[in-house]
């Protein structure tokens, strides 16, 4: 059971801080916004199933009709969703599926081909050969591989393999045979041939429109920018809590009992699996305590996570809850040494065990902080849930048939509904609004936190 907050002032702070990112208890469908209708139908279905009742037929029909509208909207050429359009193209066109499959393994195949070429034509090997036709041919072979000219490389390798066999050069013939007989070079040639197909080119264009590709310089730059923003939010949250800790200490009879730590790393000595659980907490408010043997220790009072966006917090919540469950496995009476930016922090296991791991009580121990502006009309269907719905096989088939001008029936989307209301792997989609509401209820803007700190903890008179 979670212990009472160590101070009424902390309890008051958490209740007083404005939650500008909050959403209503139930989503409301908005005309012209099919995603909001999908969110409303999903939440109605979740509530019915939680009560042990089947979702109403009207809810099912509303979901199917709204999903069909959402697909049609995403498939529009002018302002549609390039990610879905690429998936639909891959679903319906065999050559695009083949291209996507070969592309996924292309880097591995390139490494294999370059290794095979270097085994016979590496510059260091060529330097040990006498000048002549063989040395020149192998240099050309190496240049074609470096230029990714796979068809020309295969043609030259076949010619030189036959010449090597005729000239009694078994080591060269054997090396070229390994290059030609392996699947890597053949598949790279097929990949380059497919790149000329019009549908493949359309698919490439759609992929390019989705933003920087993973691992690209632009993607790395985006990631670094998000990290910087997160670090700025963390610094603002930490400063607000340090001010609050000072005021708590001033109000305490003995004084000096609260402090703030940043980047608190969970030790491996806690007896539970840390798989997919949060292992580092951005900002932590702790209260001075004593261990069973009288040594100095600390109790965790509040855990704060800094996020650059609301969507980042929504994605993070499952990991955060697993992190709370990990902390709850601390042994009673034990003291755990946490690494922080301020040095080692001994924390009592009893305070970790008392942290709530689920339900509304999580709001008594956890705060998400963000500095992004609140949206006038928050998105009620999260990005992950939306894409899972759109990329379901029945959705892709419906979209492909419409794109090809074939007859379609919204009833063909019923399998998506059946999956949502019954399949365990679809539970995050069914529960997406309640998750969104929980995340937004845990989130505060850094300005609102700072204001709440200034008003919730008055200074002790001198």
Please state the domain extents for the chain. Answer: 96-208, 220-373+451-456
Chain CA centroid to CA 429, Å: 15
Region 221-248: mean pLDDT is 89
Alpha carbon distance 124, 111 (integer Å): 19
| pLDDT, tens only, 166-209 | 777 788 888 888 999 989 999 999 999 999 999 999 999 999 88
The pLDDT value given to residue 131: 79
Per-residue pLDDT band at 370 (split at 50, 70, 90): very high
Q: Quick one: angle between helices 183-194 and 150-167, nearest 10?
A: 150
* 57 DSSP assignment: H
CA 73, 78, 79: angle at the middle one, nearest 5? 55
Tokens 């702790």 belong to residue: 286
Left (φ > 0), alpha (ψ -120 to 50) or beta: where does 283 sit? beta
Q: What local confidence, expressed as pLDDT, does residue 459 receive? A: 54
Give the mean model confidence (pLDDT) for residues 452-459: 74
Residue 256's pLDDT band (boundaries 50, 70, 90)?
A: low
| Closest CA relative to residue 247, chosen from 446, 10, 16 | 10
Which of 436, 446, 418 shows the shortest CA–CA distance to 382?
436
Pairing of strands 296-306, 366-370: parallel
Q: Above pLDDT 90, what percent of the chain?
A: 69
CA distance 176 to 120: 8
SS3 460: coil
* Range with lowest mean pLDDT among 2-6, 291-295, 350-354: 2-6
Residue 41 to residue 22: CA distance in whole angstroms: 20
- Residues 293, 335 contacting (CB under 8 angstroms): no
CA–CA dist 451, 460 (Å, integer):
18
Is 114's pLDDT higher than 70? yes
Q: Count other C-beta atoms under 10 Å from residue 143's C-beta.
A: 15
Answer yes or no: are the C-beta atoms of 43 and 335 closer than 8 Å: no
* Phi, psi dihedrals of residue 279, rounded to the nearest 5°: -115, 0
Side-chain half-sphere CA neighbours of 263 within 13 A: 9
Q: Which of 123-127, 261-265, 392-396 has the lowest mean pLDDT?
A: 123-127
pLDDT of 1 reads 36
Residue 377's pLDDT band, with cuts at 50, 70 and 90, is confident
Strands 335-340 and 343-348: antiparallel
Average pLDDT of the chain? Answer: 90
Q: Report which of 106, 140, 104, 147 is spatially closest to residue 123, judged by C-alpha positions.
A: 140
Q: How far apart are CA 257 and CA 248, in angstroms?
A: 8
Three-class SS of 352-392: HHCCCCCCHHHHHCEEEEECCCCCCCCCCCCHHHHHHHHCC
Phi-psi map region of 211: left, alpha, beta (phi>0 left; psi -120 to 50 alpha): left
Give me the mean pLDDT over the 14-23 stretch: 94
pLDDT band at 233 (very low <50, low <70, confident <90, very high): very high
Question: Using an 8 Å Cβ cutoff, are 412 and 396 in contact?
Answer: no
Partners of 444 in beta bridges: 369
3-state DSSP: the chain helix, strand, coil percent, rounded to 5?
60, 10, 30
Query: With 90 as the cut, is the pLDDT of residue 457 above it?
Result: no
Q: What CA–CA distance (Å, rounded) separates 443 from 438?
A: 9
Q: Is 430 exposed, middle or buried (0-12, 13-18, 19+ CB in 10 A)?
A: buried
Q: What is the pLDDT of residue 3?
A: 44
What residues does 347 pair with on adjacent strands? 298, 336
């Amino acid at each position: 059971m979670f212990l009472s907050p160590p101070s009424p002032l902390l309890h008051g702070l958490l209740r007083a801080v404005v939650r500008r990112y909050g959403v209503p208890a139930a989503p409301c469908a908005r005309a012209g916004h099919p995603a909001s209708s999908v969110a409303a139908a999903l939440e109605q279905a979740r509530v019915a199933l939680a009560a042990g009742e089947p979702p109403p037929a009207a809810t099912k029909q509303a979901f199917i009709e709204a999903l069909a509208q959402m697909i049609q909207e995403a498939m529009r050429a002018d302002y549609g969703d390039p990610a879905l359009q690429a998936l639909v193209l891959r679903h319906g066109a065999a050559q695009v599926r083949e291209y996507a499959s070969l592309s996924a393994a292309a880097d591995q195949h390139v490494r294999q081909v370059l290794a095979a070429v270097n085994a016979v034509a590496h510059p260091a090997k060529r330097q040990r050969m006498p000048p002549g036709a063989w040395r020149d041919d192998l240099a050309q072979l190496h240049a074609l591989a470096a230029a990714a000219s796979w068809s020309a490389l295969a043609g030259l390798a076949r010619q030189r393999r036959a010449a090597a066999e005729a000239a009694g050069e078994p080591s060269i013939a054997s090396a070229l045979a390994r290059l030609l007989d392996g699947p890597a070079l053949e598949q790279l040639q097929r990949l380059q041939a497919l790149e000329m197909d019009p549908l493949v080119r359309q698919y490439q264009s759609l992929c390019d429109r989705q933003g920087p590709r993973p691992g690209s310089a632009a993607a790395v730059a985006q990631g670094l920018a998000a990290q910087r923003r997160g670090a700025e939010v963390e610094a603002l949250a930490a400063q607000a809590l340090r001010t609050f800790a000072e005021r708590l200490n001033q109000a305490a009879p003995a004084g000096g009992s609260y402090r703030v730590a940043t980047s608190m790393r969970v030790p491996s000595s806690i007896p539970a699996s840390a798989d997919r659980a949060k292992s580092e907490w951005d900002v932590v408010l702790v209260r001075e305590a004593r261990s069973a043997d009288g040594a100095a220790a600390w109790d965790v009072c509040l855990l704060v996570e800094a996020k650059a966006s609301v969507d980042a917090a929504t994605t993070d919540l499952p990991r955060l809850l697993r992190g709370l469950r990990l902390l709850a496995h601390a042994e009673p009476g034990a003291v755990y040494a946490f690494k922080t930016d301020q040095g080692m922090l001994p924390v009592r296991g009893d305070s970790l065990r008392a942290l709530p791991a689920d339900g509304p009580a999580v709001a008594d121990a956890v705060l998400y902080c963000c500095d992004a502006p609140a949206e006038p009309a928050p998105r009620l269907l999260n990005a992950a849930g939306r894409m899972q719905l759109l990329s379901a096989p029945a959705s892709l088939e419906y979209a492909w048939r419409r794109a090809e001008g074939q007859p379609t029936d919204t009833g063909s989307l019923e399998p998506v509904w059946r999956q949502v209301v019954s399949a365990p792997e679809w539970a995050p989609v069914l529960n997406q609004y309640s998750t969104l509401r929980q995340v937004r209820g845990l989130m505060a803007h850094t300005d609102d936190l700072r204001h709440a700190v200034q008003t919730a903890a008055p200074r002790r008179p001198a």
